[in-house]
Structure 1
Amino acid sequence: MSDPHEPSSSDPQRRDMNAMAPKPLSEAGRKRVRTSFFRYLLRGTRVILPVLSTLGGLMVSLGITVAHAEGWKYIDGVYFAFVTGLTVGYGDLVPTRLVSRIAAIAIGFTGILLTGLLAAVSVHALQSAVAEEKTRPDGDAPQEPPLS
């Protein structure tokens, strides 16, 4: 039994919505989008590499600072920094001193910036790759429906 609130397939509004849905890409189109995505991702990563390096270096430095203050091995401090910065927080290493806790807060903020920056570059790369595929002159790319 059909839902009376659900528009039927003969409903003009439903047909307009289906006409506006993008057509799926062929295998060749998906391959071009993947290739373009990685090309744009590499280009974007090269642009932000100085910022990524600075944030990564800051996280390592803060991790070493925490390790020194807590009496941990330095590799444990770096591990703590990345686990904390990526907001995983296993809880196997816990800072107890005030300076370590302040550094852990700074590590958390640095990790959020690092993650956000990588996500932004990835989203931009995907948008650029899809836009490039949409504007391809061949018949493989999905075409926008004509405006009525």
Structure 2
Amino acid sequence: MNDLDGVSGDRSKLSLRQEASGQPLTRRNHFNAQSELVKSTAITASRLGNLMEGVMPQTELTSAQMRRRFRLALWAELKILWPIVSALLLIQFILGIIAGYIEQWSLGESLYFTSITGLTIGYGDFAPKHFISRVGAVIIGMVGVVLMGLIAAIAVRALDAQGTDRRS
């Protein structure tokens, strides 16, 4: 009999002890059982982890846990790409302020025009009349498309990372 046979016997004894005491077999109880096994045997923790692999029951994540993982993954992606997102927003707003100055709009109207054009909504309540302003509006729209694509890509990567964490 090798030392691994003793561990599997101890594991079943611990599981039976938990069932007899009325404790549900949850991930925490399995972790406690695993901790007791490490203390009670001479096997190293890494060998025990390899032994217990596949024995740990899979539990479903709650929606709150999934939202938290998504927010953490989204934040990690935004920390990497924040300089690019900031630069694109800055380009849009500078072009919008310039277009507003040329068209003699107020600052609020210029920022509103920039937001509506950058999101490619285009209500049409503010339309540039000068050629330079129109070129600026086209550039604002193009930068807006790139920006929205980048934000969508960040969200997809965060969802993918959250799903990958869930599978592991």
- Whether the aligned pair in 2 keeps the contact of 1:59 and 1:107 (CA below 8 Å) is yes
Residue 130 (structure 1) shift: 0.9
Cα root mean square deviation, aligned: 1.3
1:133 and 1:109 map into 2 onto residues whose CA distance is 36
Matched residue SS, 2:121: coil
Any gaps of 5 or more consecutive residues in structure 1?
1-24, 136-148
Residue 114 of structure 1, aligned match among 112, 136, 147: 147
Alignment correspondent of 1:54: 87
TM-score normalized with structure 1 length? 0.71
Residue 31 (structure 1) shift: 2.7
Any gaps of 5 or more consecutive residues in structure 2?
1-58
Alignment correspondent of 2:122: 89
Residue 35 (structure 1) shift: 1.1
Point out the structure with the larger helix share: 2
Alignment correspondent of 2:98: 65
- Whether the aligned pair in 2 keeps the contact of 1:32 and 1:133 (CA below 8 Å) is no
Residue 102 of structure 1, aligned match among 120, 125, 135: 135
- Whether the aligned pair in 2 keeps the contact of 1:29 and 1:133 (CA below 8 Å) is no
Deviation string, structure 1 residues 50-70 (Cα, Å, up to 9, x no partner): 111111111110000110111
Alignment correspondent of 1:79: 112
Residue 32 of structure 1, aligned match among 34, 55, 65: 65
Q: Could you say which structure has the larger radius of gyration?
A: 2
> Sequence identity of aligned pairs in percent?
33
